[in-house]
Amino acid sequence: MGFKPGIVRALHDLGSLAWSQGDYGLVRARYEERLAIEQASGNTLGICECLGNLGKAASWQGDYAQATTLIEQGLLLAQNLGDKRYITWSLGLLGHVALAQGEYAATRMRFEECLPLLRELGNTGAIAWSLHWLGHLALIQGDYMRATALLGESLALFQNLHEQRGITYLIEGYAELALAHGQSERTARLCGAVEIARETIHSTHSFPDERFRTEHLVASVRAQLDATAFDAAWAAGAALTLEQAIAYALDEDDGESMP
């Protein structure tokens, strides 16, 4: 079939390197090269992967219409194949694109569509991420009871998996809950804990909505505290271990005292 696995692997690796450097134009160039090879060889799953990554890169560049088109093309191919792994991946990507545009009904639809398929696959990590983003959406929409339940379920799964990156996002979710309840110092502490945890595990944002979420949260709490109070609360949170940060996030008191 003229399939060239060595070239495909090299282009994938070069695309991954471009991701790590934040060069989304180069990401698209590499995956477009790979897409041409996958199409010529008739590798449908490879085509799905390229379309998804091209869509993801387009979303980082703010080209949401193109991102949606590309990912939906990959989703259709995956559905025709009946490949649930690529179906759920594509649905998750579409959920993030919708969230980045503030299209909350579409966001919820995509992630809820994922969940039964993920449960069939037994993909606990992806289940946890979907629950997390549904919890974040509930927070945005002011449904704090639903948000608390979803975040709690997601956190328990991430803890069982020892998934530190996922745990940092859940702590950030609890920071958003604290902010919604007017607990500014608690929010700043949890943000400080998240920041140092991400630095420790070298975690970066994978989607535009993740980055915007963090930036908005930090900017919001900064606006509610004077510089001295913010810096003190942030430093106190940064001094927590990940386990202490989890315990503090789950503490149901008024949130303005350290554990």
CB atoms within 10 A of CB 3: 13
- The verdict on residue 158 lying in a domain is yes
Nearest in space to 49 (alpha carbons), one of 27, 64, 65:
27
- The verdict on residue 197 lying in a domain is yes
- The verdict on residue 78 lying in a domain is no
pLDDT tens digits, the chain, 259 residues: what are they?
344 556 555 555 554 555 555 667 777 888 888 899 899 989 999 999 999 989 988 988 899 999 999 999 999 999 999 999 999 999 999 999 999 899 999 999 999 999 999 999 999 999 999 999 999 999 999 999 999 999 999 999 999 999 999 999 999 999 999 999 999 999 999 999 999 999 998 877 766 667 788 899 999 999 999 999 999 999 999 999 999 999 999 986 644 544 4
Range of the domain at 225: 142-259
Total structural domains in the chain?
1
Say what the pLDDT of residue 253 is. Answer: 60
- The verdict on residue 76 lying in a domain is no
Place of tokens 């069982």: 160
Say what the pLDDT of residue 259 is. Answer: 44
Check: CB of residue 95 under 8 Å from CB of residue 113: no
Check: CB of residue 27 under 8 Å from CB of residue 53: yes
- The verdict on residue 60 lying in a domain is no
CA–CA separation, 103 vs 35, rounded Å? 29
Report helix, strand and coil shares of the chain as percent, to nearest 5. Answer: 80, 0, 20
Residue 79, judged by CB atoms within 10 A of its CB (0-12, 13-18, 19+), counts as middle
Nearest in space to 95 (alpha carbons), one of 54, 124, 61, 136:
136
Say what the pLDDT of residue 2 is. Answer: 42
Nearest in space to 167 (alpha carbons), one of 128, 208, 222:
128
CA–CA separation, 32 vs 37, rounded Å? 9
- The verdict on residue 167 lying in a domain is yes
- The verdict on residue 111 lying in a domain is no
Tell me the pTM.
Answer: 0.85
Say what the pLDDT of residue 146 is. Answer: 96
Check: CB of residue 59 under 8 Å from CB of residue 72: no
